[in-house]
Chain A
Amino acid sequence: MFNIFHREKTKIKAVSDQDLIPYLKSLNIYEDVLMGRVSCKFCGRKINIDNLQALLPHGQKICFICSNIKCLTHLHHD
């Protein structure tokens, strides 16, 4: 059993498919994704609703990661 008093956890933030569009709208980036105006930070592939896999904060910008697993494996934050 986990130590009841040791409640520190590793949090993973996730968005489900059913919440994806409202979430993108709340971030004001839905139009950009819909119109194909953004691309994957790592491979440069155009991002659309189907191939969007992750969102990454980078400085003052929101970056997009595609569903190519090679791009997902670049993800890490200290």
Chain B
Amino acid sequence: MINEICLKFGLEFLCPIIQRLPVVLLYGFLFFFFLKGFIDFLANFIPQIETLKSKVYLPLAKKKAFKKLSKQAIKSDIKGGVNTAILKFASEFPMGWLKPMEIEWVSNQSSEDFLDDNEIVIRIRPVENQNINFVTAVYYFLRKSFFPKTKRIIPESHLEASVLFTSRKIIQSEKPELKNLFEDYILEPEVDKNVKILNILEKYENIDKQGFFTSTFLREIHAVASEVKWTSMRSEMPREISEILKHIEDFMDHYNNGVKQDKWTDSIPAELWTRLGPVTNYGFLLIAMPYKVTSGVNAYVNRAKNNIQNGIVRLYVFGAESERSFADKVIKAIEFQVPEYKLTERFKLSHDYRGGVGGIGALFVKR
């Protein structure tokens, strides 16, 4: 009958297609499920795919007929957004802090299993509240990820401020349209609760302009907290954090004043290149490419050796983005020519010590 209709309308070329329709549909379904599985697999490694999925699911999930898609839409949107940001920022943060996020839905669990799991379960609101879901998830994810194993030792105001500062930075970078929502919904209530946070956030903003927030500040206070965890020095954490922050600010002030007078290397007093704290000590080595590259590398290697002789346990080496290849050479030279130091981390910088975008850093720790 379909053949007759096709012939009647002069569409005979459709007859073989219609006859094979069940087979075509079967292959179509198989291909669809194979493609979906392949895309889900790839999304584990390329978070932007998850964001693309959410762009398809979210508008559909708001329609009544597709309500069942809502969980998938919410998950893809949050996971895609957060993991794309992490991919961008993770290499600035201490190693192992920011791992890809996974949302695990729970729907059925006995109270015994819940207590055994010892994991918080948060409620995710319907897709209509997706913006709030996103800012809450970013905040909660960073709160969970920051200062692994030392959370309870870091003073609450600094723990909170560092999470708020980073959440705002991530949201501003990934979903700038949600910055105001984040400030009203999360930042404002936190400032209400503890007004000191504003002062701390300002300081973080300032040291981040030259890349010292993630590179030095977070790493140092985490290192101090790990050292004092089981000692009486634990109660000294607030003072130690303030002093590390002050040291970084003083160092930056001297550097910036020196740059204005065009002689920054002389403008930083010798004692500011290092900080000898009661728990840890660290030093800075700022790389600036000289006219003769070979002799320049040796000069930095010698400074690293001086730091070892002066008992500096943690040495931070920073290079500007425009001089990345020379900075790489210096880092490699220190790694091979100063065996007393072990290269523990190489990391990216949001800003270099000159205030330019990007940059490279390395942390050497005395063996």
Chain B hits for A1, CB < 8 A: 45-46, 87
Chain A hits for B106, CB < 8 A: 13-15, 19, 23
In the complex where A16-B124, A54-B123, A69-B189 touch, is A9 in contact with B100 (Cβ < 8 A)? yes
A10/B141 in contact, CB under 8 A: yes
The SS class assigned to the A binding surface is mixed
B149/A57 in contact, CB under 8 A: no
A26/B103 in contact, CB under 8 A: no
A53/B122 in contact, CB under 8 A: yes
Chain B hits for A19, CB < 8 A: 105-107
A29/B111 in contact, CB under 8 A: yes
Chain A hits for B124, CB < 8 A: 14-17
B186/A73 in contact, CB under 8 A: yes
Tell me if B136 is interfacial: C-beta within 8 Å of chain A. Answer: yes
Chain B hits for A29, CB < 8 A: 111
Instruction: Tell me, in angstroms, the Cα distance from A65 to B224 when the chains sit together.
Output: 32
Chain B hits for A53, CB < 8 A: 122-123
Kindly specify which of B113-121, B303-311, B338-346 makes contact with the partner chain: B113-121
Chain A hits for B102, CB < 8 A: 9-12
Q: How many A-B residue pairs have CB under 8 A?
A: 152
Report how many residues on chain B are interfacial, defined by Cβ distance under 8 Å: 56
Mask of A37-78 contacts with B, CB within 8 angstroms, 1/0: 000000000000000111111001010000011101101111
**How many Å from the CB of B162 to the closest CB on chain A?**
12
A13/B119 in contact, CB under 8 A: yes
A14/B109 in contact, CB under 8 A: no
Interface residues on A, range: 35 or more
Within B89-105, which residues are at the interface with A (CB < 8 Å)?
Answer: 98-105
Chain B hits for A76, CB < 8 A: 143-144, 151, 159
A54/B101 in contact, CB under 8 A: no
Instruction: Tell me, in angstroms, the Cα distance from A51 to B193 when the chains sit together.
Output: 20
Mask of B47-76 contacts with A, CB within 8 angstroms, 1/0: 100000000000000000001001100100
Chain B hits for A72, CB < 8 A: 122, 136, 140
Tell me if B192 is interfacial: C-beta within 8 Å of chain A. Answer: yes
**How many Å from the CB of A53 to the closest CB on chain B?**
5
Instruction: Tell me, in angstroms, the Cα distance from A68 to B152 when the chains sit together.
Output: 23
Chain B residues with CB under 8 Å of chain A are 44-47, 67, 70-71, 74, 83, 87, 98-111, 114-115, 117-126, 136-137, 139-141, 143-145, 148-149, 151-152, 159-160, 185-186, 189-190, 192-193
